[in-house]
Amino acid sequence: MARIVYALTSQGRGHSSRVTAMAEALEARGHELLFCAGGGAGQLLAESGRTVVSVPVLRHKMHNNRIRLWTSLASMGLVTARTHKVIPALVERFRAFDPQLLITDFESYSVRAARRMGLPLMCFNHQQVLTHTRYEVPPRYLADAALARLVVNMAAPNNAEHVLVSSFFYPPLRDPARSSLVAPILRRAIREIEPQTGEHVLVYHNDPTGLHGLLEAMAALPEQRFIAYNFEPPANAAAMPNIQFVAAEVEGFLRDLAAAKAVVCTAGFTLISEALYLGKPLLVMPNEGIFEQTLNALYLERDGLGEAIYHRVPEAADLRAFLGRLDRYTGRRPTQLRCGNDDAVACIEAVLERLGAR
């Protein structure tokens, strides 16, 4: 069996959920894993008893549901410049582990270390659906799509042995010989929990910094209970008795997701995939400036799986109208019960076999 370095970004909860699921699958096949991550993702993996090499976290800066592009680039550039000594340390740690392969989920330090030591690598993420598939978008988004492809191509390594993309929608691949598309990667807890339909709506925003209007919209529906994750309770939280503010916590989030009557969230891939698997109606609000989320929302609507609000946050009228249409989306659909874990493991092992044959 192989020794694999598995590296992931700490931007958002989805990457850590995907890697946790894949860790279980790969370890069950006898592969030995060394993880490379920082922030909450690294902490989550370490708490599960896995060996983690910590790296600096490069984060997007958000304000009012929009990425602050130049501020984000400047911040990431500054952190990268200040932490250049991380690479030699990573090379030393990787060489001691003696891996056959690096799998990177959009983590940049590990890629630079792998280049320095000649370690083969493969990419495994959702973002490269933007660069490795042929999808159609409305004309107003053509420029955004082109810019997003450029940014992802610049950020992703160009020497990958293979690109593995996980997605809940399936546009044709540009180059099937060098890339693969699999169904969503689902952690065991999602696959095993039995969904129910409760009375609350789960609300999640990946970074509510400076967010205006969403809490007020929920408060304007006093008859509806909302459970809000990742929100700091405002000074006037007492005037919003129908909103329960909950700190991010994996097991509690899973329970509330499984029992929700509906989900209102940003358009990140992992939460959409998990909610669809559990048969939850979805209303999403893509982060402006992150075209991957816009594309997720477009396909969610195109395939009749949920609804989306673009370029703003939902207002009270939007929430009320969506909640009045839940019957359109409630229930588990056979097409959404696909799980890509086994296909992803098979793809990784095919890459390892190809490398061993050289």
Measured CA to CA, the distance from residue 136 to residue 91 in angstroms comes to 41
- Check residue 179 and give its pLDDT: 98
Residue 60 pLDDT greater than 80, yes or no? no
Better pLDDT: 64 or 127: 127
Q: What is the mean pLDDT of residues 322-342?
A: 86
Per-residue confidence band for 303, with pLDDT thresholds at 50, 70 and 90: very high
Tens digits of residue pLDDT in 207-242 = 998 899 999 999 999 999 999 999 999 999 999 999
- Check residue 14 and give its pLDDT: 56
Token pair of 148 as six digits: 């997003």
pTM of the model: 0.92
Measured CA to CA, the distance from residue 267 to residue 274 in angstroms comes to 12
- Check residue 12 and give its pLDDT: 53
* Among the listed residues 282, 275, 356, the one whose alpha carbon sits nearest the alpha carbon of residue 319: 282
Q: Within 13 Å and on the Cβ side, how many CA atoms surround 112?
A: 14
Domains present along the chain, CATH in parentheses = 3-185+339-356 (3.40.50.2000), 189-336 (3.40.50.2000)
| Spatial CB neighbours of 36, under 8 Å, sequence gap ≥ 6 | 5, 6, 7, 8, 52, 53, 55, 90, 107, 109, 110
Tens digits of residue pLDDT in 236-295 = 999 999 999 998 777 899 999 999 999 999 999 999 999 999 999 999 999 999 999 999
Tens digits of residue pLDDT in 140-154 = 999 999 999 998 998
Per-residue confidence band for 358, with pLDDT thresholds at 50, 70 and 90: very low
Question: Looking at residue 56, what DSSP letter applies?
Answer: -
Tens digits of residue pLDDT in 65-81 = 877 666 756 666 676 66
Spatial strand order of the sheet with 101-105 comes to 52-54, 32-37, 3-8, 101-105, 121-125, 163-166, 179-182
